[in-house]
Structure 1
């Protein structure tokens, strides 16, 4: 299993009805990379949406989890899942769980996600998609939101951090929150960022931040890890993890902008891309 974070993956089912010929989920190299990370409140909303739109799927999940088709009502089975995944002693769990979906290779090629609120309209699960896991939520701070205006000509092609590598296409904002990068306090890791171009290469300006103290912003000393790095090729930087970094899950934000970008992590950029990742500080 490539992604070993307990907080993200707590349980998988080898469910023939959903995986057809697939024998077990953890055989797949993309296991865990679903970009479907929800807060506790959103996890509740996911269950409510499924109960509204796919109650039969929840019932079948219960029956496969417990290898039973008891005579108890379908609503009782749904309520039992709700209690198990979301609540403890009548209160919302600190880290409730929710279902996520993908294809048989545990990928999400059409960028489809189940709803996160009972008020959302029902939508059809794509052909070939199925339940691929039960994920445990964790609650990020409310970071400022930013995006690029146009990524059609230049974008972030690849990010490497230590042994982690992610290659992607052009989007104004890419939230790779499900792709967790593990680091150790006091350790040194090479960060390599590579631009991609659809027309021709231009010098790009890179900025990057990691919220080392996990307080919901990137404004503290040492949290800017890339500052006005300019090149039309890949840039490599050695990142030292602060010895006093706060253990747990935090955010990394990377921006690339042919227009110069900004030292302010909350400023939108013009021509390029913003990518965000989850960092697990050990």
Structure 2
């Protein structure tokens, strides 16, 4: 049975849940000693949440209820699983290095920022700066996989260095802004300015563009790409029916555009026909 947390009452203020990791809460003593920040106060975990079950056997943490004011869930996680049966706040999965974060709801801004490894799956929508850089940082996501079934906000993958991000719903503006490497897949397109300032990396847009292409990209070949077929194979390993259509479209001929020429022109935008 997983370790289960349920709010005793609606959270009145933002709460920092960075300390609540399944790998750290494997005993009753660890749970009793755990403190979380609510506003300016450091309070015992059990004062704010009903706690049941144990993470000792399978390193699994289950969050039940509305955690939209709960921030930094899964921050720095290296192993185990966190499942949220509701919404999460900002900075979910920040600096993750391993494990799995599953959200059956929406998440706030900065999902997976500075992520190094592991898998994040969101059944709902994500906010701005998914897989992006923290304020003042020159690097965003550096590894791992983020799958968002719904929409995402602005500047997904900003300064991204490595990893895979798949947004199946509409995307906000400037996905891949200042991108350094890695792969972004936008299943429903949306937004404008994608790839602005990108140096390297690949952005696949699998729906018709709603805004004009940036003039600093030049057309290349149109063809089926082996690397996209390999990516489709990896997506199918998740055995999620909602990813099948995205995987199928990755195997079709794609039009390649090279840019951003103002940043060296070594990035790739792949557009569905």
TM-score by length of 1: 0.29
Over alpha carbons, which structure has the higher Rg?
Answer: 1
TM-score by length of 2: 0.30
Higher RCO (C-alpha 8 Å, min separation 6): 1
